[in-house]
Amino acid sequence: MKTKIFEPTENNIKKAGEIIRSGGLVAFPTETVFGLGADAFNADAVGRVYEAKGRPSDNPMIVHVAEAEELEKLTDSIGHRLKKLTDAFWPGPLTVVVRKKDIVPDRTTGGLKTVAVRNPESIIARRLIEASGTPIAAPSANISGRPSPTKTEHVIHDLSGKIDAVISGPDCRVGIESTVIDMSDDRPMILRPGIITPGDIARVLGEGVALDPTLKERPTKEEMKNQRSFRPKAPGMKYKHYAPMAEMIIFEGDPTAVRIRIDEVRKEQEEKGRKVGVILFGQSAFREAAHDLFADLRRFDEEETDLILAGALTEKDGVGFAVMNRMLKSAGYHVVHV
C-alpha cells in the first residue's frame, strides 16, 4: 500500500475524512502526539489499526471527538464531576474513561465495558473528525512498543506502506500523551499521568484524586514478565513501551552526583568503543522535557547509539512525574541509585 502524505489543507482533510469514513487508516497530528485514526464505530477498521501497529488486541483505543457534546454519543453516564472536567480541560490533553454505550464496538475498547474519550485541542485533529462524520479511534501512531511520534517524519518512519494516509503537521506541542483519568467508578483515578496534573484536576473537582498505585511502583524484570503482581488498570501501561533500540539506564540521586556519575560512565563506555547518548533535562523545565523526550530517543536510534544514560526527574506528581513515567518505561525500569 502506498501511503499518501497530505498537507493539512481543507481539501486534503476532506479527502482524509472520506478515507476514514470508508474504513481506511489516517495518521494525524494532535497537540500531544500523532494518532493513527480509524472510524471508532467500524470494528473492521479498528482491527486494521491493531494490525498496522502490531498492537495487542486487549489494549483499548482512545476515541476522539470534535466537540465536547459528542461525549453523549459514547456514554449515558455523564455526572457532574465528569462535566466539571470536560468544561475545564476540553478541548485539550485529557482523556476520560467512562461506561460505554453498546454502539461502541468491543474491538474499540479491547473488550472492556468502558471507553476512553478525548476532545483534542489540535485544529487539524478536530477538522479531521468533523470531515469524517464519526468519532475517531486513535492510538499513538507508532509501531507498538516504540517511542510515540511527535513529528510527521516519525510516523512516516514507522507506518509508511501500512496505512492509507498521513496528514503532516507541525511538531506536537506537548510531546507526551494525554492524561488518562478513570471516571467510571465512584472514585476518579489517574491511570496515565500527563501535562494535566493531579493538582490541576483536584483544583477543578474540589477533591483529591487517586493515582493508579502501579504508577508509583518500579517492577523488576521478572514482575514485568509474569505481570501477576504488576497490574495497572489501563491495559497499555503494562507493556514495555517507548523503548529505544539502545540499552537505557536512569541515574537517580543528588543532581550533581548524577551528572558526575553519568559523565564517568559515558567516558568508560566510550573507551570500550560504545556509542553513548546522554539525556539530562533541567529539574524545572518539565514541559521542555515532555516536548523533547520521544524525539531525543528516536534521534539516538537514528544515530545508532548503543547506550543511553539519563538523569532521573525527581518531581513527585506534576509534569516531571509524567515525563519520568515514560523514561522509566523506556529504560525497562533500569534505575541506578547514585
- Contacts with ligand TXA, residue ranges (CB under 6 A): 30, 32-33, 35, 59-62, 93, 95, 97, 109, 112, 114-116, 118, 138-140, 177-178, 180, 191-192, 233-237
* Cross-strand bridge partners of residue 95: 118, 180
Q: How far is the CB of 37 from ligand TXA (least distance, A)?
A: 8
Residue 127 contacts which entry, Mg ion, ligand TXA, none (Cβ below 5-8 A, type-dependent): none
What span, in angstroms and rounded, lies between the C-alpha atoms of 202 and 99?
22
Upper half-sphere CA count for residue 73 (Cβ side, 13 Å): 18
Residue 119 contacts which entry, Mg ion, ligand TXA, none (Cβ below 5-8 A, type-dependent): none
CA distances from 335 to 18, 149, 220, 248 (A): 47, 25, 10, 9
Residue in 218, 240, 224 with CA at minimum distance from that of residue 55: 240
Residue with cell 502526539: 33
Over 184-238, what HEC string results? CCCCCEEEECCCCCHHHHHHHHCCCCEECHHHHCCCCHHHHHHCCCCCCCCHHHH
Residue 114 contacts which entry, Mg ion, ligand TXA, none (Cβ below 5-8 A, type-dependent): ligand TXA
Nearer to ligand TXA, 118 or 298 (CB): 118
Nearer to ligand TXA, 103 or 257 (CB): 103
Q: How far is the CB of 236 from Mg ion (least distance, A)?
A: 6
Residue with cell 464505530: 41
Give the three-class secondary structure for 77: coil
Residue 97 contacts which entry, Mg ion, ligand TXA, none (Cβ below 5-8 A, type-dependent): ligand TXA
Nearer to ligand TXA, 120 or 277 (CB): 120
Q: How far is the CB of 190 from ligand TXA (least distance, A)?
A: 11
* Pair 298, 154: CB distance under 8 Å: yes
Please provide the size of the chain in residues: 338
Residue 152 contacts which entry, Mg ion, ligand TXA, none (Cβ below 5-8 A, type-dependent): none
Nearer to Mg ion, 132 or 178 (CB): 178
Residue with cell 464496538: 105
Nearer to Mg ion, 138 or 262 (CB): 138
Q: How far is the CB of 253 from ligand TXA (least distance, A)?
A: 30
* Cross-strand bridge partners of residue 241: none
Nearer to Mg ion, 17 or 147 (CB): 147
Nearer to Mg ion, 96 or 237 (CB): 237
Residue 330 contacts which entry, Mg ion, ligand TXA, none (Cβ below 5-8 A, type-dependent): none
Q: Pick from 140, 150, 178, 179 the residue near Mg ion by CB under 5 A.
A: 140
Size of the site for Mg ion (CB under 5 A): 1
Residue in 293, 68, 86 with CA at minimum distance from that of residue 174: 293
Residue 168 contacts which entry, ligand TXA, Mg ion, none (Cβ below 5-8 A, type-dependent): none
Q: 182 φ, ψ to 5°?
A: -85, 115
Could you list the residues that contact Mg ion (CB under 5 A)? 140
